[in-house]
Amino acid sequence: MPDGVAPGQAGDLDPQVWASGVRRGPDGALTAAGVDVRDLAREHGTPAYVLDEADFRARARTYREAFTAAFAPLGVGVDVYYAGKAFLSVAVARWAHEEGLRVDTSTGGELAVALRAGVPGADIGLHGNNKADAEIERALAAGVGRLIVDSRGEVDRIADAAARTGRRAPVMVRVTTGVHAGGHEYISTAHEDQKFGLSVAGGPAMEALRAVLERPELELLGIHSHIGSQILDAAGFEEAARTLLRLRADLHAATGYLAPEVDLGGGYGVAYLPGESAIDPGDVAGRLATTVGAVCAELSTPVPRISIEPGRAIVGPTTFTLYTVGTVKPVTVDGDDGPFTRTYVAVDGGMSDNLRPALYGAHYTATVASRVASPETVRARVVGKHCESGDIVVHDVALSADVAPGDLLAVPVTGAYGRSMASNYNHVPRPPVLAVRDGAVRVLVRRETEDDLLALDLG
């Protein structure tokens, strides 16, 4: 059975995997916020990322409102930081901020985008397991709301930079709670054997927290944990929250300092295939509020201000990638139940615009987007144009049997870690990001050109 069972022309686009503004018209073509994908392809070319602005804003609001409402009875506010690593552009940073979110950055480059967007420094956080001094200084100069300390050595490096710049640095300490959660080993980040954070169990977390308190140039805002990505079960978040709150209480007992904030990280999972469900923000917010309330009562400590850092859940489902079909090639494959035909459908992009299938074995679905196509399906594999057999966009999908060169093909849920992890492999220019809203298109990031690539080559 193919993974992505969306035949080209079911007409019923599963709302779990398509942005709210995507429809299929009577002529079989998709429209996004009222814009016909055939017009998009004609005017802007393919491949292209098509981002539904209203859908992005709605998801941002949903997270902010769900967490704010859940924690209100505990008497604390919640800051939602949009994790820019999922996808960041000037416009997107602005939208997030307009919807009441702050912006989480993990490098000087992401910080530069957030600042260019006009997001006030106070509403920006800076992460990174290996921050350069220049990044730290730039963050301090911008007056960022917080730097997240990721190693013991960084405590002194940030304090020294603060002394040099004459600004007190607000910091959180990122800890590893031992909770192992998420879709793939490479994206689960709070177990001990990886590069992020400081271990709670072994003592380095407490040691770093105490070191922060000893440096007058630093202001300890709180404790941070990010347990992984594409998490569909709230239990891991609850477990991590318990560990963070206990550590906060231990620090209080040991030093008399009660850290005012706790950051529960990002990682909220989304649906990639029809029939899958995203984690429900209201549900996870409610469960986390219950856990935080109960643990704080148990420990007799006041409830801290909470922050979270969703990236994928805000931007992932807002976007689909629009490709043009080129070569269509049936291949006979020896399956477990005997030989079958797999139709290789090659598109004009691939692993350079979506690395996730090659890197994580991630699964997607696809649909013919430009016409009424056959209700009969073939077992298809959507592949790219790169010189590599692992260049797969959709591993296994039931596509309309008459899929043909020149068709437009749409692959949903590519908003997170798509453009942001895109490369120029084989000197393929990276696609544009086109925002659609109320029947209008706006180019957020233009298509790269061969000249852009050659401009870097000094001959």
The residue ranges that bind ligand LLP (CB under 6 A) are 83, 85-86, 104, 127, 187, 189, 226, 229-230, 265-268, 309-313, 356, 360, 416-417, 421
Which residues are paired to 129 by β-bridges?
none
Clarify whether 387 is annotated catalytic. yes
Closest approach of ligand LLP to the CB of residue 29, in Å: 29
The single-letter code of the amino acid at 399 is L
Query: 82 to each of 73, 99, 186, 263, 431, how far by Cα in Å?
Result: 24, 10, 21, 13, 23
In angstroms, the CA 351 to CA 357 distance is 8
The two three-digit tokens of residue 250, written as one number: 């231990």
By beta-carbon proximity to ligand LLP, the closer residue of 5 and 358 is 358
Q: For the CB of residue 288, give the shortest distance to ligand LLP in the complex, in Å.
A: 14
How far is residue 350's CA from residue 386's CA, in Å, rounded to a whole number? Answer: 7
CB of 307 to ligand LLP, least distance (A): 10
Half-sphere exposure of 370 (CA within 13 A, CB side): 18
List strand residue ranges (DSSP E) for 37-85, in order: 48-52, 78-83
Residue type, 362: A
Instruction: Strands of 249-388 (E only): list them.
Output: 261-263, 305-308, 319-335, 338-347, 367-368, 377-383
**What CA–CA distance (Å, rounded) separates 60 from 272?**
19
Q: Looking at beta carbons only, is 126 or 251 nearer to ligand LLP?
A: 126
Tell me the C-alpha distance between 10 and 154, whole Å: 54
| Under 8 Å between Cβ of 401 and 40 | no
Closer CB to ligand LLP, 324 or 414, in the complex: 414
Closest CA to 237 of 196, 280, 203: 280
3-state class (DSSP) for residue 84:
coil
Overall size of the chain counted in residues: 459
Minimum CB–partner distance for residue 7 and ligand LLP (Å):
27
Residue 388 DSSP SS3:
coil
Cis bond upstream, residue 47 (ω within 30): yes
Instruction: Please report how close the Cβ of residue 189 comes to ligand LLP at its closest, in angstroms.
Output: 6
* Torsion, Cα of 102, 107, 113, 117 (10° steps): 20
Nearer to ligand LLP, 113 or 441 (CB): 113
Min dist CB 182 to ligand LLP, Å, is: 8
Q: How far is the CB of 355 from ligand LLP (least distance, A)?
A: 8
Can you give the C-alpha Rg of the chain in angstroms? 23
Residue 448 to residue 434: CA distance in whole angstroms? 13
* CB closer to ligand LLP, 41 vs 83: 83
Give the span between the Cα atoms of 23 and 14, in whole angstroms.
Answer: 10
Q: Residue 41: how many CA atoms within 13 Å on its side-chain side?
A: 22
If the CB atoms of residues 31 and 229 are measured against ligand LLP, the closer one turns out to be 229
Residues 387, 455, 456, 458: which is the catalytic one? 387
Q: 327 vs 423, which CB is nearer to ligand LLP? A: 423
- Nearest approach in angstroms of CB 158 to ligand LLP is 17
Please identify, using beta-carbon distances, which residue of 8 and 267 lies nearer to ligand LLP: 267
Residue recorded with tokens 């043909």: 404
Q: Which residues are catalytic?
A: 387
